[in-house]
Each structure stands twice: as C-alpha cells, then as structure tokens.
Amino acid sequence: MANTRQLLPASSSSYVTVVHNHRRFFLSNGTRIRCSRGGKGPENLLLKTAWYGSELLGIAASFFRPSPPPVVEGRSREDVVIERAVLVETIKGDYQRSYFVTGALTLDAYEDDCEFADPAGSFKGLLRFKRNCTNFGSLIHKSNMNLIKWEDFQDKGIAHWRFSCTMAFPWRPILSATGYTEYYLSKESGRVCRHVEHWNVPKMALFKQLLKPSRQGN
C-alpha cells in the first residue's frame, strides 16, 4: 500500500497563473500549448495577444527586480500518495493566502507536469507556472481574492472565487470578475494534474477592463 503524507507549504515568492478546455495543439519554445475552442474569433486573438504580452512583460520586468533569496522546495517521493482530505484543506489554505496573486501556494500539491489553463491559453509545467505567476505579481498594484464555495466530485474539486486587482500600469486599470477553478486529481499520486480556470465574464470584457483607466490615480 502506498504511503500518505501531509503537504508542506511552499515559499510565497512564486505567483500563480492559471485555464479552459482546449482542442488543438502547437509548439512554442518547446512547450506544448493548447488553443482554446473557438480560437479563430477576434476576441480570442485579442485575449491571447494580451495574455502572451503580459507574460513577456512580466519576464522583462523580472530583470529589474532584486533577485529573491534561493528557496529549497522539497518534493515527495514518487510512491507517496497525497490524501484527498489533506489536499482539499491545503488548497483552501492557499486561497486564504490569496495564492492566485501572491504565489503563496503549496507546490507539493501539484504534479511537476501539471497542466495550467485559463480562457487565454494553457501550458504544462509547474516551473513555468511559478515563473509566470511570480512575474505577473510584479504587474499588480493591489489585489483581493476570496474563496466563495468548494465542491467535491469523484475526479476533481471545484473552487468558486471572487477576484479583483489594480494593475501597476500608469492608468491603473482594474480587473474584476468571479469564476471557478477545477482541480483534476491524479489517481496515482493524489496531486493536482490539471488546474483549469474559468472566468464568469466575457473575454472581450476582460480585455476592455485592461484598457480602461481607473480613478485611483498614482
């Protein structure tokens, strides 16, 4: 019988980014990415442009940030299975730390090749997830995230959330939405193997929020 273990919280120095159901595939820098259904429309093109643009902007901004101290993040042995109840409580705890925008998530809760997806695109790989979220955090002036409800299903859990943030751009745009994230669990390890984020707001509305100046000033 496989062993079970408690999860260890990871450093808060990484940020999260998280996606939708997808159908077609292409390669980008050696990483497999899936294009969302309906990807031919202008809304999807604009959203993907903004998504990949923010990723590149975050990478560029990272060169001007002081480097954080190195963090050793332990991983469980491959034969260790995470108990479902422990995993659920761990994810709920991560929401209390606003992991979505702070990166204070428990990395041991995820497979190394976990798929992370949102309405703009998807990719596989925990390391890329960490990098993107850390960089995205540098683009946020302030944020707020609340877990509204948790639902358990046979092969996954679903977290319903409310999120808002003020971007650190000169015009201080505000992004605000509700949504839910599906956490698909590996039968072998009990960890999250797919992290699929859904936003209850039209894609074009999100893009327009990004362009609209707020009244908050500097």
- CATH number for the domain harbouring residue 35: 3.10.450.50
What is the per-residue burial (b if ≥16 Cβ within 10 Å, else e) of 146-178?
Answer: ebeebeeeeebbebbbebbbbbeeeebbbbebe
Residue 156 lies in a domain: yes
Tokens 């201080």 identify what position? Answer: 172
* pLDDT for residue 185: 97
Q: Which amino acid is at 196?
A: V
Any domain includes 76 = no
* Residue 4: inside a domain: no
* Distances 18 to 1, 3, 117, 118 between C-alpha atoms, Å: 33, 29, 5, 6
Q: Which of 179, 167, 161, 147 is nearest to 209 (CA)?
A: 167
Q: Is residue 2 part of a domain?
A: no
- The pTM of this model reads 0.69
Cβ atoms within 10 Å of 82's Cβ, excluding its own: 22
Question: What percentage of the chain carries pLDDT values higher than 70?
Answer: 62
41 pLDDT exceeds 60?
A: no
Tens digits of per-residue pLDDT, 142-178? 988 899 999 999 999 999 999 999 999 999 999 999 9
Domain count, the chain: 1
Domain range spanning residue 19? 11-63+82-211
